[in-house]
Amino acid sequence: MVNRRIAEILRNGQPDESLVVQGWVRTKRELKGFAFIEVNDGSSLANLQAVINQDLPDYEAIIKQINTGASVEVAGVLVASQGKGQRIELQAETVKVYGEADPETYPLQKKRHSFEFLRTIGHLRSRTNSFGAVFRVRNACSAAIHQFFQERGFLWVHTPIITASDCEGAGELFSVTSLNLKNVPRTENQEIDYSQDFFAKPTYLTVSGQLEAEVMAMAFSNVYTFGPTFRAENSNTSRHLAEFWMVEPEMAFCDLEGDMDLAEAFLKYIFNFVLEKCPEDMEFFNQRIDDTVLATAENIVNNQFERLTYTDAIKLLEKADFKFEYPVSWGLDLQSEHERYLAEQLFKKPVIVTDYPAQIKAFYMRLNDDEKTVRAMDILAPKIGEIIGGSQREERLDVLERRVVAQGMKPEDLWWYLDLRRYGTVPHAGFGLGFERLVQFMTGMGNIRDVIPFPRTPQNAEF
């Protein structure tokens, strides 16, 4: 008999087809002479209902073993369902229980659990409807990202995790030390010597793959990275993780306008893709998590984003009829409340803010002729705030050297980066998208810890 995924059976299965499914039991209902179980294998939000008749050998024993959370294999024949709620169901011929789940201790019972509670059982939460939907949408977003860039001839480049430079200059780094656990008697409470550095220079986990992506763009023209990045953020917000994934395209022969056009087309493409690939999951988010999810997605796909300069944004914020917690004035970085006000209240769509003051942005952004602002752009999303940070890069060697020094960095540490300007420099631009913030924006999930399978936040790296 053919082994099939439940999503596909629910879509295409026809009465009289014989098949096998494997999955985890969501519910069991015992009636007179038979029992219903609902099985989920992670392929869809909906479960497949199986009917187990009492004439099955060992009926009593099997039913006793099957509880919410048990893993089973059911073989049988599809039949048209008599009941409401499903088109077809599986008439079981054999049921095999792989692993039982004790109803006294299995933490996922039928009631709805809070996300806070589910974070304490992160190793089991993927078996719930919400997390099933989140991780399927997360997968669809990843696939859309690769498809978007591959269709446009971008090269996917793998930039290093271990680096010697702090790309953003923000100083929120995790350092890398070597440790040979074979030489450490783990049973004894002995001091561990972390001091023997493996690398000749101090090294860190990367905060961004951008500088290395620029290296690759200076040979392949259009490239992108998509990988994990790390920041020792001590901020306990619903938008920051210590480990998050970033998508960073980098384009040679490209200015800030080209960069913004690409970023906007990119977001539209991903939303479109997910709406098409995961309609049930998106409907679920709209019903259960945030009733603006579908309208927001339609809005992204169909409307142009707003574009304005930082200077104009500050003017709008200064005269806003809204009490902000943090002050706004020219020269200060926007806080997420300001970003959200612009996108959520004022324009009611994503907003691209450009030309930020040089002093609040990284050294590599291209200086404007006013010498005060840089060719930066941030894309601000309703409910989230910043989801993309990008810029045209400084391609002029002398200006870049000046900016490196002004930001307290040593040009000799960045000799290879400066070389890119020494030999065959070109105008180029790129951006970084926080992948988890995109998934948050897409699904309406309020907390970034709930859109990554294993969130890393201060004090939390257990599972």
User: In the complex, which residues of this chain contact Mg ion (CB under 5 A)?
Assistant: 386, 389
User: For residue 288, which of 33, 113, 432 has the smallest C-alpha distance?
Assistant: 113
Task: Give the range of 144-152, 213-221, 380-388, 401-409 binding ligand ATP by CB under 6 A.
Answer: 380-388
Q: What does 434 bind: ligand ATP, Mg ion, none (CB cut-off 5 to 8 Å by kind)?
A: ligand ATP
**Does residue 437 interact with ligand ATP by CB under 6 A?**
yes
Burial code (b: 16+ CB inside 10 Å, e: under 16) for 313-333 equals: bbeebeeeeeeeeeebeeeee
Considering the complex, state which of residue 42 and residue 228 has its C-beta at the smaller distance from ligand ATP. 228
Smallest separation, CB 245 to ligand ATP (Å): 8
Q: What are the DSSP calls for 289-328, one per residue?
A: T-TTHHHHHHHHHHSPPEEEEHHHHHHHHHT-SS--SS--
* Positions in 270-289 near ligand ATP (CB under 6 A): none
Q: Which of 432, 439, 443, 455 binds ligand ATP (CB under 6 A)?
A: 432
**Does residue 240 interact with ligand ATP by CB under 6 A?**
yes
Q: What does 436 bind: ligand ATP, Mg ion, none (CB cut-off 5 to 8 Å by kind)?
A: ligand ATP
Q: Which of 328, 342, 388, 445 binds ligand ATP (CB under 6 A)?
A: 388
Smallest separation, CB 388 to ligand ATP (Å): 5
**How many chain residues are in contact with ligand ATP, going by CB under 6 A?**
16
Element (H, E) at 266: helix 256-277
Considering the complex, state which of residue 38 and residue 436 has its C-beta at the smaller distance from ligand ATP. 436
Q: What does 250 bind: Mg ion, ligand ATP, none (CB cut-off 5 to 8 Å by kind)?
A: none
Angle at 387 between CA 384 and CA 388, to 5 degrees: 160
**Does residue 250 interact with ligand ATP by CB under 6 A?**
no
For the chain, give the longest Cα–Cα distance. 85
Considering the complex, state which of residue 73 and residue 233 has its C-beta at the smaller distance from ligand ATP. 233
User: For residue 79, which of 36, 27, 129, 41 has the smallest C-alpha distance?
Assistant: 36
Q: Which of 72, 436, 445, 450 binds ligand ATP (CB under 6 A)?
A: 436
**Does residue 449 interact with ligand ATP by CB under 6 A?**
no
Considering the complex, state which of residue 23 and residue 434 has its C-beta at the smaller distance from ligand ATP. 434
Q: Which of 387, 429, 442, 445 binds ligand ATP (CB under 6 A)?
A: 387
**Does residue 393 interact with ligand ATP by CB under 6 A?**
no
Smallest separation, CB 401 to ligand ATP (Å): 22
**Does residue 400 interact with ligand ATP by CB under 6 A?**
no
Q: Which of 72, 246, 317, 352 binds ligand ATP (CB under 6 A)?
A: 246
Smallest separation, CB 74 to Mg ion (Å): 49
User: For residue 102, which of 62, 75, 57, 68 has the smallest C-alpha distance?
Assistant: 68
Residue with tokens 């509670």: 117
Q: How far is CA 230 from CA 161, 168, 176, 207, 362, in A?
A: 9, 12, 12, 5, 17
Element (H, E) at 398: helix 397-406
By rule CB under 6 A, what string of x and - marks binding of each residue 166-185 to ligand ATP? --x-----------------
Rg of the chain (C-alpha set): 26
Task: Give the range of 150-158, 297-305, 382-390, 419-427 binding ligand ATP by CB under 6 A.
Answer: 382-390
Considering the complex, state which of residue 23 and residue 390 has its C-beta at the smaller distance from Mg ion. 390
Query: How many angstroms separate the CA atoms of 390 and 382, rounded?
Result: 18
Smallest separation, CB 397 to Mg ion (Å): 25
Dihedral through CA 400, CA 406, CA 412, CA 413, nearest 10?
-100
Smallest separation, CB 329 to ligand ATP (Å): 18
What tokens appear for 289 in the block? Answer: 């998590």
Considering the complex, state which of residue 148 and residue 230 has its C-beta at the smaller distance from ligand ATP. 230
**Does residue 209 interact with ligand ATP by CB under 6 A?**
no
User: For residue 22, which of 51, 2, 45, 46 has the smallest C-alpha distance?
Assistant: 2
Considering the complex, state which of residue 252 and residue 388 has its C-beta at the smaller distance from ligand ATP. 388
User: Cβ contacts of residue 59 below 8 Å, gap of 6+?
Assistant: 52, 53
| Tally: H helices and E strands in the chain | 13, 17
Contact 350, 301 (CB under 8 A): no
Task: Give the range of 29-37, 96-104, 351-359, 432-440 binding ligand ATP by CB under 6 A.
Answer: 432-440
Contact 355, 309 (CB under 8 A): yes
**Does residue 382 interact with ligand ATP by CB under 6 A?**
no
User: Cβ contacts of residue 389 below 8 Å, gap of 6+?
Assistant: 376, 377, 378, 431, 432
Contact 165, 211 (CB under 8 A): yes
Using CB under 6 A, list all residues that contact ligand ATP: 168, 231, 233, 239-241, 244, 246, 386-389, 432, 434, 436-437
